[in-house]
Structure 1
Amino acid sequence: MMSLRKLLVLSLSSVILLTSMVSAAFSYRQARIEAKELFDAKLAHSTRILMGLMDDALAGDGKGAQPTPVLINIWKASGIGGDDRPPSASGNAYETRLAFQVWDSRQRLRLKSDSGPSAALANLRPGFDTREIDGERWRSFTLQSRHGLWFQAGELNANRTGVATKIAVVTLAPLLLQWPLVMVLVWLIVTRACRTLERVTCEVERRAADALTPITIAGTPPEIAGAVSAVNHLMLRLDQALTHERRFTADAAHELRTPLAALKVHADNLQTAVSRQHQRESVDFVQQGIDRLGRLIEQLLAMSHLDPAASPAVARPVDLGALTSQVLAELALTSLGRRVDIAYQPPASTATIQGDEVLLGLLIRNLIDNALRYTPRGGHVQIGVQCLQSGCELRIEDSGPGIEAAARERVFERFHRELGSQQEGSGLGLAIVRQVAELHGAEISLDQSPQWGGLRVSVRFVKR
């Protein structure tokens, strides 16, 4: 693909060349027209001078027989005029071949110059005229005096055209000569304008793979500053994502180390067990450790796919009540095994929200699982979904120990577990719940259950 510098230079050069050619053609045409207008004005002026000098002298000599015309000797210009000779005491290179005639009212020639033809330069009527005489074209001006005499001044058309063309070319020459200079200036200007892009490119190329600090915007033109700013925002998001991944990897490694160490201890105990009772206890510990490790890995995988800055990948209408019933059915055996009484209050009407069904199921499952995990045997867990004017609400209450008000914000942090808790867990459940809620624009709140005294979790989904 063509570089930006070449594209700009070629585009600007083409436009300038095209406009210069159009301007040159127009200027050439106008220069020729103006030159001819000046020659016409000179003809008219010469005719008036001749009339002023000779009108009275010739007025009384036209009576009687055919008068002898007065012959005037005039210098005859050679060539077409407009050569490169400089002005001198003898004349100017732009002088042209002029001829003069005077006719009386009876069309008798009274005066002529030896530089012109014997035939009339034009018909005897006032104004300009162009006529071919003896193979030469003459441009003439005719004027009638107060004595009835017709004064004519003529100019050889070839001289006029040559001089007019010369004037037009001289006028046009600077416009044509400046075009190469303009092209050089365009190249220099475009090259200077591209230096900012080159600076940004070099700055990015010199960076290390993990150097995601913003690119310097100072001194950058507004047209490029927008792109640089967008790249800076991208690098900021990448830095945040990498920081998130590094933190997650470090936390995951730390959390996996403990259950793996415990499994190794129980496996060692199983090998050195001296009785079947000790073997059964070690096997039970190993199975429990595997279950906890499997749950931790499952939650780690779920957490790794959640990004608070993103939106749900698939936003579709989801029936919150039906989804809650489905998750409850999946966790029924868990509640029976722990002998916890679960009560579900479905919504009065269909509670439809926009979101990702898989992520919403993950949110509901973690909330119910946490409630079952921290509720003692014989305890109660109540789940309800209701429709509000502003959206839908999912509410889960339990009769467990609850969470102190001062610690309710900390429980949403990853791998956080309250001191003194009798239940083992990864500390990721509520962190996953918060991230899924944020992805769906939902509000989540923790308080004390007024009915059971344990924890009440409310998740409010706003209508979109």
Structure 2
Amino acid sequence: MTGGSLRGRLRWLILGVLALVLLPLGIYSLRRTIHEADELSDGRLAQSARTLQVMIGQIGLPALQQHGHGVVVPVTSDATQELVLHGHTFESEVGYQVFDRDGRMLMASGNVADLPPPAGRVGFEDVHHGRYRWRLFTLPPTADGVVVRAAERYDSRRDITNALWLEHALPPLIALPVLALLVGWAVRRGLLPLDALAARLAARKPGSHDTLEVTGAPRELEPVLTALNDQFARLEDALERERRFSADVAHELRTPLASTMINLENAEASRDSREADAALADARESLAALARRVEQLLSLARLESSSRATQRSDVDLLAVARTAIEDLSPVIADSDAELDVALPPGQLMVRGHEVALAALLRNLLENALRHVPSGGLVQLAIARSAGDAVIDVIDNGEGIPPERRAAVFARFHREVGSRGEGYGLGLSIVQRAAQLHEASIELLDSPLGQGLRVCVRIPLTSEH
């Protein structure tokens, strides 16, 4: 069943089920009732024949023969009023015959007097006589050889059958349209929560964070409301991320683009080749800064979009760390700083996203290398501790005072007087990656005398 309204589908499905159940039951009940009525009529016919046989036995065959053979009791349609009821002349609808042992008719009712003798047949049989079909019942001969036959017209029985048909068929014919109206009303009443839900959805404003609720919602609608609210929350979260990312891009790319354009215009306007070369060099630096800023913004966007992903996998944190160090080899070489790495043997498996873990390690190392002086030291240590993988990145740079450490996770936050060339996105990326893995992150004093220690604890997989 496709298309159409839900109300119409429910109404026709309910009526179809009712018809599928009630019609066969009605037909079966009607057939059983007609069968029982026919058996009752046959019993009445047999009882009439037996009663007549008993009466003849009381009279005696000789007394009956004294009146001669072939006595016919007349039956006419203008019988006495007592035998006429509701338009039926019941006297003309029943009859009887009495025969002797030689098959000669002793007496009969006028409506069946010309029926041939039974010729040895006993029991029930159907015959056509005149304009009617008759049901006959013949008793076996008595000791005197008397054979009694009782007869009943089938149209008398069919009156009962027609009454039964009318009694069984008329109520459903009247009830089905009424039932259709009642079912339609009941379906409309039952679907009122859907109408309320549609009205709430139509009235919901874009960007609304309100929970969708329907007063008196049935239990069957609760999963729909839960799924819709979850979907709205995810949608609003995605839209918020898009808005935030667009604002970040507009804010952060404006300055390097403007600087590049100014340097290029200065190079074009300068008549001194050395000034032009210097302007072009500044433009290249601005473009490099722009490329780096775009890369960080994209990394942050990928991390935020990955929060919607539910598929996690087992990741070897040590392998990710080695790859991150290889990726940062040019930065390490240019930083004029020493990187000390301490990794345990084997594997250290965590459950999470490899891209996010790689971004976390790259930004921690890059942030530390950028903030140490020439000849400074950066240490990376990964270890296993009480069911967690512990990442320690330690430097001997300028550090961050304890009272300002909570603020450095904000986007585009940079410490006053910082010597680094970052854009305040590194620790924000680290924090987002930690959140994706239910990891904790702490900013502590460096054990090297000055600088900063960043400690990240990530839960290990159950097998490790």
- In the alignment, which of 221, 234, 238 is matched to residue 237 of structure 1? 234
1:268/1:134 Cα in 2 relative to 1: closer, same or farther (>3 Å)? closer
- Number of aligned residue pairs: give it: 451
TM, length-normalised to structure 1: 0.76
**5+ residue gaps, structure 1:** 79-86
Question: Per-residue deviation at 1:139?
Answer: 3.2
Q: Residue 85 of structure 2 corresponds to which residue in structure 1? A: 91
1:355: how far off? Answer: 4.3
1:414 to partner: Cα distance = 2.1
- CA distance in 2 between counterparts of 1:102 and 1:239 reads 99
User: Which whole-Å CA distance do the structure 2 matches of 1:404 and 1:437 have between them?
Assistant: 22
Shift of residue 366 of structure 1? 0.3
Pick the aligned partner of 2:431 from 417, 428, 434. 434
State the Cα RMSD in Å. Answer: 4.6
Structure 1 residue aligned with 2:322: 325
| 1:423 aligned partner | 420
Match of 1:100 among 96, 99, 112: 96
1:460 aligned residue: 458
Partner SS for 1:423: coil
Report what 2:4 is aligned to.
3
User: Structure 1 counterpart of 2:109, which letter?
Assistant: S
Match 2:164 to one of 150, 159, 168? 168
- The CA deviation at 1:329 is 2.9
CA contact 2:193–2:214 (8 Å) conserved in 1: no
- The aligned residue for residue 335 of structure 1 is 332
- 1:130 aligned to 2:125? yes
Offset from partner CA, 1:277-305 (integer Å, 9 cap, x none): 99998777666554444322221121122
Deviation at 1:365, TM superposition (A): 0.8
Alpha-carbon distance, 1:348 to partner: 1.2
Q: Is the 8 A contact 2:376 2:396 kept in 1?
A: yes
Distance in 2, matches of 1:185 and 1:204, equals: 29
CA separation of 1:273/1:170 partners in 2, compared to 1, >3 Å: closer, same or farther? closer
Q: CA deviation at 1:217?
A: 1.7
The residue number in structure 2 matching 1:159 is 155
How many percent identity over aligned positions?
A: 27
Asked whether the equivalents of residues 442 and 460 of structure 1 are also in contact (C-alpha less than 8 Å), the reply is yes
Contact 1:72 1:114 in 2 (8 A): yes
Counterparts of 2:280 and 2:126 in 1: how far apart (Å)? 127
SS in 2 for 1:344: strand
CA offsets 1:58-116 (integer angstroms, 9 cap, x no match): 14x548977746957474679xxxxxxxx988324464722235678998866543343
2:344 corresponds to 1:347? yes
Give the Å deviation of 1:416: 2.8
TM-score (norm 2): 0.76
Stretch deviating more after TM superposition (215-224 or 298-307): 215-224
Question: What secondary structure sits across from 1:307 in the alignment?
Answer: helix
For 1:249 and 1:41, locate their aligned partners in 2 and report how far apart those are by CA, in whole Å. 95
Q: Does 239-248 or 110-119 show the bigger shift?
A: 110-119
Question: How big is the shift at 1:324?
Answer: 1.8
Contact 1:55 1:147 (8 Å CA) reproduced: no
* Counterpart residue number, 1:58: 59
Partner of 1:29: 31
Aligned position for 2:112: 116
Which deviates more from structure 2 when the two are superposed, residues 145-154 or residues 23-32?
145-154
Shift in Å, 1:38: 3.0
1:380 Cα offset (Å)? 1.6
CA–CA distance in structure 1, aligned partners of residues 129 and 336 of structure 2: 132
Q: How much has 1:342 moved relative to structure 2? A: 1.0
- Structure 1 letter corresponding to 2:379: Q
Deviates more, 1:262-271 or 1:25-34: 262-271
Range with greater deviation from structure 2 (43-52 or 332-341): 43-52
Following the alignment from structure 2 to structure 1, what is the Cα–Cα distance between the partners of residues 391 and 25? Answer: 76
Give the Cα–Cα distance (whole angstroms) in 2 for the partners of residues 311 and 252 of structure 1.
21
